[in-house]
Structure 1
Amino acid sequence: MEQPEECSRPQVWNEIENLPQLKRSSAALILIAFLLFVGCQSAKEGESSKPSKSEQTKILPSSTGARCEVILVCTEKVWNSRALNPLKNELLRPQPGLPQPEPYFSIMRVDPANFKNVIQRNKAIIVVEESDTARFRWFRNLYAKPQNVALITYTTFQDIYNLTARHRREIFEKFRAQDLKSTRLTLLKSGAKWQDATKNQKLKILMPPGYSRVVHKDNFSMYFAQSAKTHHVIMVHTRPWDPDGELPDEWKIIEIRDSLTILHTQASRPGSYTVVDTTIRPLSRTYNLNGRLTTEMRGLFKSVNDFLGGPFYTLVLFDEDRKLMVFIDAFMQAVGQNKRNMLMEMEVIARSIDLK
């Protein structure tokens, strides 16, 4: 049988065999270490030649866009038709609890030919375009991040009407949740810090720069911020609550709120204070917020013995483990100013309350 041809050994091995035993062992170890080093370097060079995941993934710019702003990409003919009525009625309906009418969202129409460059980086976009199929789809981080893009394709205007009627609430909720999240991130980037909300409970609240704590008691704290044209107040209050009892209704919550503002607030005139304006009934709802039963209320307050007033936003969280009711209230005065975006920021502060 033919023997396999013997491979010639590298000259370096022949030289090692001719060395004395001790020197031979040392030289062999040095050679092995050298070969391992060269092999590792070759492997590293091979790895570096492959594109990394970050290189393979397109790097998206940061999204832009004002709070509560939506870009709607469609032709003028579509915009002026009735096909978009369900969507417009949903996004442009007045936000409750404001002294003057302001819609939940501001819509900016963009012609498809102009939908490019920086406009594509808006965080909330709806694209309505003609196609051979009628369909509704979501795209995440399509042109920038974070970003939500809703694509509506249609063959007839009736398709637009049907799709927007079917998905209008979904669009509203997704864009509003996105605004709340981006507002919180903006507060954190601006230097907002976690603070003890009250003395006797382990409660934390995210407070942005500009707010000063003017009252800090066992079960009550008040924060105040002002500018040349606005005044902002946030109150945190705790009181015992029996989980086996009934939840306080909206009138009981108003009673609690009024008891706090009568004691701790004063308008511009001596002897004045603020209370809920019940001539316009506040809107309230009870739901689950971050795993806790919560009552939310929006309405207007007024000043007794004065003429000032404005919107308020109240959260009441029920902690079954500690048998505690946590009351967070945010209200503001901003004469002659649009208040929607400012109140959303205060809502985000109130929602940041941490009961852990």
Structure 2
Amino acid sequence: MKQAGTLFLLFSLALLSCKDGKNQNYLPTSVGAINSMVVVIDNELWKGNVGDSIRSHFAAPVVGMPMDEPLFTIDQIAPKFFTGSVRNTRSILYVVEDSLNLAHIKSDMYASPQRVGVIKGTTKAEVIENIDAEADEIIAAFKDMEIEAAQKRFNRSLNKETELQDKFGVKLKIPSIYKVGKQEDNFVWIDREIQKGTANIVVYEMPANSFDSDSTLVKDIVAMRDSIGAKYIPGPDVTGKITHMRTEPAFAPYVYPVEIAGLKGVEVRGLWDIKNYPMAGPFLTYILNDKVNNRKLVLEGFVFAPATQKRNDLFELEAILKTLKIESLAK
């Protein structure tokens, strides 16, 4: 009898496990435009200081852009309307004045992939305090998910060109709409047309001992970008003038620590322009310390699209660069 009871218990657990697995599989695919989110919050809170706090974090201007563009495009909805397909939104922030004081992130509650930031407080002041304390973590979770979602879309049709592998021993998942436009011994330029302009990727390498001084790091990064621009990225022909890409001299770039594909380095965000010609736009550069190959590997994305929003185009370039894989060097 004891053995039969044990078998019955195991059988019951197996059924429950299968049931749970089916429930997880039945989660619908999440929806939402890139870098968009839904804020579920009472209308009164949204119009007051609580809403102001949310907007100050989640709609803050993206760093290094020529015009103000928010981190996320926000749609606000009252809790009573948070039903049906709206629950399948990829990024959700649920904010409520409640009997509890807490803040956390939940995954795949109504759809997959999905992140739901939940912020509660017993008073408006507590709600705002929790927003201020947890916003950075929630933003990072939303952004990581957006990056992964974009990278999955790339797999539908990938560029098969091998120049990056042949010259630098690296691979990137690049959509097939991008094409190699220029290549030299230490430089590959890949681009595609976008609305009113182009989205661009350049890859090159620097000596391993580059950027050894923290005190001159920003200055050295600007010097590197300007020298590469002068050598490889010319501007339009202007009689009697030299034109080429450079770092916009009026604005110092922003520099942050980063790690990609196991390589530590820095992320650089700022503005580029064309010397002696009215062209400009945002750039994103990763300078990675590749000790195995005795070099600094440089990956950069930049956008040219005058008088249009560029946030999502630069974000796509970021997602591409973060697919980096180091392969064996062919050279």
Q: TM-score range by the shorter chain?
A: 0.7 to 0.9
2:7 aligns with: none
CA distance in 1, matches of 2:78, 2:150: 28
Q: Distance in 2 between matches of 1:212 and 1:191?
A: 11
Tell me, yes or no, if the aligned pair for 1:73 and 1:111 is still in contact at 8 Å.
yes
Superposed counterparts of 1:123-272, under 5 Å = 123-193=90-160, 195-197=162-164, 199-227=166-194, 229-242=196-209, 245-246=212-213, 249-270=217-238, 271-272=242-243
Letter in 2 for 1:316: I
CA distance in 2, matches of 1:195, 1:102: 35
Alignment match of 1:61 (pick from 19, 25, 28) = 28
- Tell me, yes or no, if structure 1 residue 92 matches structure 2 residue 63: no
Q: Which of the numbers 322, 328, 331 marks the counterpart of 2:293?
A: 322
Cα–Cα, structure 1 residues 228 and 139, in superposed 2: closer, same or farther, change >3 Å? closer
**Distance in 2 separating the partners of 1:294 and 1:56:** 42
Paired with 1:272 and 1:286, the residues of 2 have a C-alpha distance of: 32
SS of 1:99's partner is: coil
Give how far 1:190 is off.
Answer: 4.3
Query: 1:23-73 deviations in whole A, cap 9, x for unaligned?
Result: xxxxxxxxxxxxxxxxxxxxxxx99xx684543546011001111111100
- Equivalents in 2 of 1:267, 1:169: separation in Å? 39
- 1:293 partner SS: strand
Task: Determine the structure 1 residue equivalent to 2:4.
Answer: none
| Aligned alpha-carbon RMSD (Å) | 2.5
1:281-308 CA-partner distances (Å, limit 9, x unpaired): 1111233334322111111111123211
What's the TM-score, normalizing by structure 2?
A: 0.85
Partner Cα distance (1:228, 1:295) in 2: 30
* Equivalent residues of 2:161, 2:180 under 8 A apart: no
Give the structure-1-normalised TM-score. 0.79
Deviation by residue 1:247-294 (Cα, 9 ceiling, x = unmatched): 671221222212222222233335532211120111112333343221
CA distance in 2, matches of 1:186, 1:55: 25
Cα shift at 1:78? 0.7
CA distance in 2, matches of 1:280, 1:57: 49
* Other-structure match for 1:113: 80
For the 8 Å contact 1:243–1:323, the answer to whether it is kept is no
2:160 and 2:145 mapped to 1: Cα distance?
21
Q: Give the superposition deviation at 1:246.
A: 4.3
**How far, CA to CA, are the matches of 2:298 and 2:87 in structure 1?**
41
Per-residue deviation at 1:153?
Answer: 2.7
Distance apart, 1:239 and its partner CA: 2.7
Displacement over 6 Å in runs of 4+: none
3-state secondary structure, aligned to 2:106: strand
Q: Report the residue type matching 1:63 in the other structure.
A: S
How many residue pairs get aligned? The number is: 310
Of residues 195-204 and 116-125 in structure 1, the stretch that sits farther from structure 2 once superposed is: 195-204
Q: 2: distance between equivalents of 1:157 and 1:186?
A: 40
SS at match of 1:206: coil
Quick one: distance in 1 between partners of 2:273 and 2:255?
Answer: 18
SS at match of 1:189: coil
Partner of 2:278: helix, strand, or coil?
Answer: coil
Structure 1 position 101 matched with structure 2 position 68: yes
- Residues of 2 paired with 1:141 and 1:125: CA distance? 11
The 1-side partners of 2:135 and 2:255 are apart by 22
Deviation per residue, 1:1-23 (Å, 9 max, x gap): xxxxxxxxxxxxxxxxxxxxxxx
Q: Paired residue for 1:27? A: none
Is contact 1:198–1:220 with CA below 8 Å preserved after alignment? Answer: no
CA distance in 2, matches of 1:209, 1:57: 33
Bigger Cα displacement from structure 2, 320-329 vs 260-269? 260-269
Q: 2:311 aligns to what?
A: 340
- More off after superposition, 294-303 vs 207-216: 207-216
> Structure 1 CA distance, aligned partners of 2:300 and 2:284?
6
Identity of aligned residues (%): 22
C-alpha change, 1:118 and 1:239, in structure 2 (3 Å) is same
What does residue 287 of structure 1 align with? 258
Deviation of residue 321 (structure 1)? 2.0
